[in-house]
């Protein structure tokens, strides 16, 4: 059910930003930040799937980033067990972004996305050199050559005997990203214009994360206006 005004205010108080200039923007307001309506549209996830809710206290108790112990795989140096927020506990850590494949002129700009992530989370965000995938001898694989060959599974979509586009299998993308993860990374997120899928029956997936391994991939492919 929707949170009460007090619950909303309690959640806002957990925001690490102390700037007085932001305070008015964080106050619940019926005109600009009204309660979310009950999902009824066929496009609303919660209108189609029944999911158990989560209270703020449940979230705080379950998120590993707020634990008094450092996340496995993260750099231990500089970790502050008594910190209240993620930025307090991991003061030297960063969010990393990487482009997977090419981004044509009309597509989102990586630097703009990096600036947005840094401003939204108030955490340093670093853009890594792009990962360029190449076709391989196998029709069901693409390759990234960076000293050694790393393979990403894919499937081809063919119309009239011609390949229309390829979809990357998300698990193999996440496995590739795990090898690029920096020790001081809160997470590494790949951004791509490649289409993605998870299992054979999938039409597509917009993205997926392996939270325990701190990697994720998000595709802009299905947001192209030319797609119907």
The arithmetic mean of pLDDT across residues 113-139, rounded, is 88
CA dihedral 100, 102, 105, 107 (to 10 degrees): -30
Does the pLDDT value for residue 155 go beyond 90?
Answer: no
- Of these ranges, 10-24, 124-138, 158-172, 209-223, the one predicted with the greatest mean pLDDT is 209-223
At residue 12, the pLDDT reads 65
Work out the pLDDT band at 72, boundaries 50, 70, 90. confident
CA dihedral 185, 190, 196, 202 (to 10 degrees): 30
Neighbouring residues of 157: CB distance < 8 A, sequence distance ≥ 6: 163, 164, 165, 166, 167
Instruction: Summarize pLDDT for 163-198 with one digit per residue, the tens.
Output: 778 889 999 999 999 999 988 899 999 999 999 999
DSSP annotation of 135: E
At residue 182, the pLDDT reads 87
Work out the pLDDT band at 111, boundaries 50, 70, 90. very high
Comparing 57 with 9, the larger pLDDT belongs to: 57
At residue 112, the pLDDT reads 94
CB 167 within 8 A of CB 154: yes
How many other C-beta atoms lie within 10 A of the C-beta of residue 175?
Answer: 17
Q: Tell me the backbone φ, ψ of residue 42, rounded to 5 degrees.
A: -65, -20
The arithmetic mean of pLDDT across residues 76-89, rounded, is 84
At residue 16, the pLDDT reads 52
From CA 103, how far away is CA 208, in angstroms rounded?
20
Strand stretches in the chain, DSSP E: 94-100, 125-131, 134-135, 141-146, 148-159, 162-169, 185-192, 195-197, 207-210, 215-219
Instruction: Summarize pLDDT for 7-37 with one digit per residue, the tens.
Output: 777 766 655 555 555 666 666 666 766 677 8
The closest alpha carbon to 67, from 79, 78, 54, belongs to 79
Entry pTM = 0.78
């Amino acid at each position: 059910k929707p949170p009460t005004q007090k619950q909303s205010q309690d959640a806002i108080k957990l925001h690490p930003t102390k700037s007085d200039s932001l305070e008015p923007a964080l106050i619940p307001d019926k005109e600009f930040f009204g309660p979310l309506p009950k999902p009824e549209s066929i496009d609303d996830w919660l209108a189609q799937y029944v999911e158990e809710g989560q209270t703020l206290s449940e979230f705080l108790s379950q998120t590993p980033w707020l634990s008094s112990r450092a996340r496995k795989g993260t750099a231990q140096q500089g970790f502050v067990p008594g910190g209240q927020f993620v930025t307090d506990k991991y003061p030297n850590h960063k969010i990393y972004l990487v482009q997977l494949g090419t981004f044509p002129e009309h597509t989102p700009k990586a630097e703009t996305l990096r600036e947005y992530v840094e401003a939204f989370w108030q955490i340093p965000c670093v853009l890594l050199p792009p990962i360029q995938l190449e076709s391989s001898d196998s029709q069901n694989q693409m390759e990234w050559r960076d000293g050694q060959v790393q393979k990403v599974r894919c499937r081809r979509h063919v119309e009239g005997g011609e390949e229309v586009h390829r979809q990357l299998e998300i698990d193999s993308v996440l496995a590739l990203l795990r090898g690029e993860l920096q020790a001081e990374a809160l997470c590494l997120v790949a951004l791509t214009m490649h289409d993605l899928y998870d299992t054979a029956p999938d039409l597509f997936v917009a993205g997926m994360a392996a939270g325990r391994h701190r990697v994720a991939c998000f595709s802009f492919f299905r947001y192209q206006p030319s797609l119907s």
